Amino acid sequence: MRDPSLGDGSSGVGIDLASLIALRQEAGRLQIAPRGKVLATRSGGHLSRFRGRGMEFDESRVYQPGDDPRNMDWRVTARSSVAHVKLFREERERPVWLLVDSGPGMRFGTRVAFKSVVAAQAAALLAWAAVDKGDRVGGVVFDEDRRIEYRPAARTRALLPLLNGLTQLTGVHNGSAPVPAHRSGFGSVAAAAGYLVNLVRPGSLVFLISDFSGLEQQDSGWMARLAAGSEVVFVQVYDALEVTAPPAGHYPVTDGSSLFVLDTAGTGLRRHWAKRFADHTAMLQQLCRRYQAHLIGLRTDQAVGEVLRQGLRPQGRRPGGIR
């Protein structure tokens, strides 16, 4: 069954810019206010719960009783031999970052659409929801050969080019002007996330949208740095075929260049098939629990907007829990 939210501009293999723009109305149902432990009040459109402050450094002054020792300016203190603390200036908008995987593993799907198309749709919905809340949106979209990146900017100044970049990396040419792309992509989501860490400022809300194929716990050093000052949400995009093997039989399979036959009759293969996905998801859950991140599971044959709406609800969310 075809997901009507994909619109007429989606073949299931790619999606066009008009379809991503049309998602703005549906995005109004999403609540993306984060739920960390430290309350940071801004002059934007919401109160945001962050572990990081998300504020710009303004100046240092002499320490006064009652000041938060976590704000100590040790450099000035050492230089002057008098205790100083840092003062921060509130930002008007919150930076929201989207890391979107369009690599080889994402160009697969047996239900409704490729994972890359579903990821692009999820990114567009989250981006529109953030813009409508008054946040600044930026992102990095990547595959194995290219990356397209935009620093967070207010309103639609960066959003529309970012959406256009999503369409170009999902393989649909829609007649819009080509987006300048860096001719150096990333071979894995871990490599892309390691690059993103250097762009994200404390206080950001970061969505990582991928199937996280090949990600191992030992590859997650970037996660500690990212989660130290920002709230992180994993959106795991997967296909039903990755969860359970197809009925017993012989299936011709191709990677575009080679053809072979997959025999799913063996019980050992079917058991290993299911265990592999379960172990991978358990690893993501453990990673999210360790760093107080959040995990949303998004299957390609589900309604993307509804899954995100349920997964982002403030009630009953626990770090590391999958929705």
pLDDT in tens, 167-177: 988 865 455 55
3-state secondary structure of 282: helix
pLDDT tens-digit series, residues 130-185: 998 888 899 999 999 999 999 998 777 778 889 999 998 886 545 555 666 677 88
Using the 8-state DSSP alphabet, how is residue 253 labeled? Answer: E
Q: Which residue has the higher pLDDT, 56 or 72?
A: 72
Burial 188-197 (b: 16+ CB within 10 A, else e): bbbebbbbbb
The pTM of this model reads 0.77
Highest mean pLDDT, choosing among 42-51, 65-74, 187-196, 245-254: 187-196
**Cβ atoms < 10 Å from Cβ of 231:** 29
For all residues of the chain together, what is the average pLDDT? 82
Report CA-CA distances (Å) from 322 to 156, 200, 211, 244, 316: 30, 24, 14, 18, 11
- Residue by residue, DSSP assigns 33-77 as --B-SEEEE-SSSSEEEESS--EEEEEEEE--TT--GGGB-HHHH
3-state secondary structure of 315: coil
The stretch 191-199 carries a mean pLDDT of: 95
Reported as a pLDDT band with limits 50, 70 and 90, residue 253 is: confident
3-state secondary structure of 246: coil
The candidate with the shortest Cα–Cα distance to 236, out of 52, 105, 51, 50, is 105
Question: Looking at the predicted structure, is the pLDDT value of residue 319 above 70?
Answer: no
**Cβ atoms < 10 Å from Cβ of 77:** 16
Contacts for 157 with CB less than 8 Å, ≥ 6 apart: none
Using the 8-state DSSP alphabet, how is residue 291 labeled? Answer: T
Contacts for 108 with CB less than 8 Å, ≥ 6 apart: 114, 115, 239
Cβ atoms 226, 117 nearer than 8 A? no
Report CA-CA distances (Å) from 147 to 139, 171, 192, 219: 10, 14, 9, 20
Across the chain, where does the E strand assignment appear? 38-41, 47-50, 55-62, 84-90, 95-101, 136-142, 147-153, 205-210, 231-238, 250-254, 259-263, 294-299
Q: Which amino acid is at 296?
A: I
**Distance between the two ends of the chain, CA-based, in angstroms?**
22
* Residue found under tokens 């501009």: 9
Long-range contacts of 59-67 (CB under 8 A, 24+ apart): 59/86, 59/87, 60/84, 60/85, 60/86, 60/87, 61/85, 61/87
Residue 36 burial (C-beta neighbours within 10 Å; 0-12, 13-18, 19+): buried
Cβ atoms 174, 17 nearer than 8 A? yes
Domains present along the chain, CATH in parentheses:
4-35+92-311 (3.40.50.410), 55-90 (no CATH)
Cβ atoms 257, 283 nearer than 8 A? no
